Structure 1
């Protein structure tokens, strides 16, 4: 139930709740009459103003929350960031609500809102905004932990060269190059590393290569390593790779038989 609620579009959820909330506040706080009371008439004007005030306060809080969330993005919902979210939200609500209430009552109804009535209404407004902010916080914490749990673990390659073992994250690899029974690993910054493998088959038997594509016998590449793709005669393709590495050709050819699979791989 919570998962479904947290994945619901925030604006859609708010637009569904606001009219109901405004209806309740209109009858219990502002109009102070219920439909079954004597001489009851639906307070359309009061309801409209209450709805506008609720919408402006909630929308302002929504924008404020998004701004504060970006500011404290690196803290991953620490107690400090949550405290400041609630504090700024409460202060901003008091300012916006006060301006709206006194402006509407003075310029529309020609009265000055009594302090006691204003404070009681402000308390309700702060309570509503607090609930909205807590919903945002718990939703984002839930979605954050869900995404962390769902994300695959980083694949780390162990490259052994003599007595030296080098650990390289799979995301840092641009492509592999095979030549004369030796496989070289080319990193995103153009580094060239000799691996312990003698062929691509050995690499495939050791690591998951779903993000790679073997364009020919010499190259096993990742998508972000492609600089340009040019059409050649007989439906062949020429691929220029980036970054370049010492003594490794930056251009590679794909036969027409593999070009179809290569184009499909590029669009996945």
Structure 2
């Protein structure tokens, strides 16, 4: 499954969310002063402190997200992944805050944070961490839903492709005496139309009367890679063609096996000059496949 967020999305989210959160937290939580106040000064030390802490916590969480994606994909067991992510990421966020917050406060402000400020920062950090983790979990859930949907569609398409259909080149439906035969193309030698009926000649020599009155319906459905209409009477399968000879006036004589009559070695079929070139192309292409 695709990861919940890309590196580009991660960078964009950091560039937008972290400065905004640092700006809000430094004013609302720590200094409680705003630009319209008379004695207002931009709380740069607190802004940089929150910025550093959030960036560090964000980085830790992202790295844990990536690691869990490889070890415990979200779509495999979402409930377990959420529980593990909340515990592991929550503890990692807390330890990161305990280390980075006092050091950042000392670097930017020149003194260690008071206990009250430290507790306030811990609450702010925990709140932000909860929001961030909750946002990514929600994103994972949405992606998982789409992943399951795409997987179901792909599986359905695969089953449809693998399932032999009546019009598939791997399976031929032939209507015979109010019933249907399901045959492989290689089982069919040719179809022979005579006297208002169409006979099926199988490769083992079996002959059966079909429910068709002409070759038109069969030709429209089957003519292509494996079958070719030699004339108005015969729709031949590739496997039945045993010999092709040139005849007068650019005609062809095609020998099919098995023959319609047992006393003949093969069934001789004349292909007109208008169809001979097309037949040669079909034979060459079919034989090449």
Are positions 1:198 and 2:201 aligned together? Answer: no
* Alpha-carbon distance in structure 2 between the residues aligned to 1:20 and 1:67: 27
The separation in 2 between residues aligned to 1:114 and 1:44, in whole angstroms, is 18
Structure-2 change in CA distance of 1:69 and 1:130 (3 Å): farther
Tell me the SS of whatever aligns to 1:155. helix
Question: Which residue of structure 2 lines up, in the alignment, with residue 106 of structure 1?
Answer: 106
Pairing 1:50-199 to 2, within 5 Å after superposition = 50-73=50-73, 76-150=76-150, 151-152=153-154, 153=156, 154-155=158-159, 157=162, 196-198=183-185
* Greater gyration radius: 2
Report the alpha carbon displacement of residue 75 of structure 1 after superposing the two structures with TM.
5.9
Question: Aligned partners of 2:144, 2:120: CA distance in 1, in Å?
Answer: 36
Change (3 A) 1:98 1:87: same
Query: Quick one: distance in 2 between partners of 1:48 and 1:112?
Result: 15
Check whether the contact 2:48–2:108 (CA below 8 A) recurs between aligned residues.
no
- List, as ranges, runs of 4+ consecutive aligned residues in structure 1 with deviation greater than 6 Å: none
Residues 1:84 and 1:146: Cα distance change in structure 2 (over 3 Å): same
In structure 1, the residue matched to 2:190 is none
Deviations 1:47-103, CA, capped at 9 Å, x for gaps? 233222212211221111221232211762432221110111111111111111111
Assess, with a 3 A threshold, how the Cα gap between structure 1 residues 31 and 54 changes in structure 2: closer, same or farther. Answer: same
**Corresponding residue number in structure 2 for 1:234:** none
Give unmatched runs, 5+ long, in structure 1: 1-5, 160-175, 182-194, 206-213, 218-254, 259-268
Pick closer, same or farther for the CA change 1:22–1:158 going to 2, 3 Å: closer
What TM-score comes out, normalization by structure 2 length? 0.50
Residue 18 of structure 1 contacts residue 55 of structure 1 at CA under 8 Å; is this kept in 2? Answer: yes
Question: C-alpha distance in 1, partners of 2:74/2:133?
Answer: 19
Q: Structure 2 matches for 1:232-247, cutoff 5 A?
A: none
Question: Please, what is the CA RMSD of the aligned residues?
Answer: 3.7
**Matched-pair contact (CA < 8 Å) for 1:61–1:89:** yes
Alignment size in residue pairs: 174
**CA displacement, residues 133-167 of structure 1 (integer Å, 9 cap, x when unaligned):** 111111122112113213331316357xxxxxxxx
